[in-house]
Amino acid sequence: MQDLINDIADTMANAERRGKVADYIPELSYVDPKQFGISLATVDGKVYSAGCATTPFSIQSISKVFTLTIALGQMGDSLWSKVGREPSGDPFNSIVQLEHESGKPRNPFINAGAIAVVDAIMMGHEPKETLGEILNFVRYVADDDRICFDHAVAASEMAHRDRNASLAHFMKAFGRLDHDVDKVLGTYFHQCAIAMSCEQLAHAGLFLASDGINKPSGIRVVAPQRARRINSLMMMCGHYDASGEFAFRVGLPGKSGVGGGILAISPSHGSIAVWSPGLDSYGNSLLGTQALEMFVQRTGWSVFGHY
């Protein structure tokens, strides 16, 4: 397995087309596009890494997997009155469906949906407490207390928040948000600005690969049914309007972020985190997707079989 992971990292290190680093959040545009990292954490407790696997990067929308897990833990199925479970077929920051669907976001992984989820988590808490809860959860599943917010990234996103602010105000106008828009956005931008390495992220995703149990510690994070459902949502909605393409090429539940990371789950096998900052036109890591495609071709670990 280590040979395969090294092979993937070597192939990606030499790739010429690397995609385009996100620049709509200016702080992200300073990241060197030549970097590539990969880490696999298996359900039997092994870790295989290569490339820049210990370099922290901005996890951005991958954080939406963790906030969804927290919200489901707090509210259970009543969360689904606030956010849907269908793929959107639209870009991550699109506003069009919100108008047709009375301000209820299609799913928890598009920006509007994640903003609704964090609004739900904020219920009964000060924004600082909510942030503490999100960070503690991520540290807990990653088993690593060094994980932190990158405040420069959060501030950069707050300063350029027009698009997300539009989504949030639109939802608020439909009575879909309970809290002040800027407070919700401040919390949302911080969750997106959590910095983690591939190794930390692979570890953090392991509970989704093992029926809800955080394997190394043996502690149950969620019930098996909830792990299965979160994986289903990642498969259907985790790559925005390219979710079908990702399922076609890779065939694993996955969640991407505009920082260039992807967390992919191979149920009963392991959790794989890849990172390369250059994005394709849908906002998903170009080389990250290629790396995962190569990984499933060589391991046969796609949920759709060994071919």
Q: Give whichever of 92 and 295 is closer to ligand GLU, judged by the CB atom.
A: 92
Q: Is 164 annotated as a binding residue?
A: yes
Which residue among 118, 184, 192, 252 contacts ligand GLU (CB under 6 A)?
Answer: 192
Residues 57 and 277 sit within 8 Å (Cβ to Cβ): yes
Q: Give whichever of 29 and 297 is closer to ligand GLU, judged by the CB atom.
A: 29
Q: Is 140 annotated as a binding residue?
A: no
Assess 156 for contact with ligand GLU (CB under 6 A).
no
Distances (CA, A) of 112 to 4, 88, 276: 38, 11, 25
E strand or H helix at 249: helix 243-249
Q: Give whichever of 259 and 270 is closer to ligand GLU, judged by the CB atom.
A: 259
Q: Is 214 annotated as a binding residue?
A: no
Q: Is 48 annotated as a binding residue?
A: no
- Both tokens of 173, joined, read 């106008």
Assess 289 for contact with ligand GLU (CB under 6 A).
no
Residue 59's nearest CA partner among 114, 4, 6, 126 is 114
φ/ψ of 132, rounded to 5, equals -60, -40
Hey, what's the torsion of the CAs at 110, 80, 203, 58, to 10 degrees?
Answer: 30
Q: Give whichever of 210 and 256 is closer to ligand GLU, judged by the CB atom.
A: 256
CB of 39 to ligand GLU, least distance (A): 19
Eight-class DSSP state of 232: H
Q: Give whichever of 48 and 57 is closer to ligand GLU, judged by the CB atom.
A: 57
Write each residue from 2 to 41 as x if it is in contact with ligand GLU (CB under 6 A), else as -, in one continuous string: ----------------------------------------
CB of 64 to ligand GLU, least distance (A): 8
Please report, as residue ranges, which positions from 73 to 112 form the binding site for ligand GLU (by CB under 6 A). 92-93, 111
The question of whether 30 is a catalytic residue gets the answer no
Residues in the chain: 307
Residues 103 and 169 sit within 8 Å (Cβ to Cβ): no
Residues 117 and 82 sit within 8 Å (Cβ to Cβ): yes
Q: Is 157 annotated as a binding residue?
A: yes
Q: Out of 49, 63, 153, 240, which one is annotated catalytic?
A: 240
Which are the contacts of 121, defined by CB distance < 8 A and separation ≥ 6?
Answer: 67, 70, 71, 74, 130, 133, 134, 187
Eight-class DSSP state of 195: E
The question of whether 140 is a catalytic residue gets the answer no
| Residue 51: exposure state from Cβ atoms within 10 A (0-12, 13-18, ≥19) | buried
Q: Is 188 annotated as a binding residue?
A: yes
CB of 114 to ligand GLU, least distance (A): 8
Residues 134 and 191 sit within 8 Å (Cβ to Cβ): yes
Write each residue from 48 to 67 as x if it is in contact with ligand GLU (CB under 6 A), else as -, in one continuous string: ------------xx------
The question of whether 61 is a catalytic residue gets the answer yes
First to last CA, the chain: 18
The question of whether 82 is a catalytic residue gets the answer no
- Both tokens of 185, joined, read 């956005």
Residues 163 and 93 sit within 8 Å (Cβ to Cβ): yes
Residues classed as catalytic: 61, 64, 188, 240, 258
Residues annotated within a binding site for substrate: 61, 111, 157, 164, 188, 240, 258
- The residues that touch ligand GLU, with contacts defined as CB under 6 A, are 60-61, 92-93, 111, 157, 164, 192, 257-258, 283
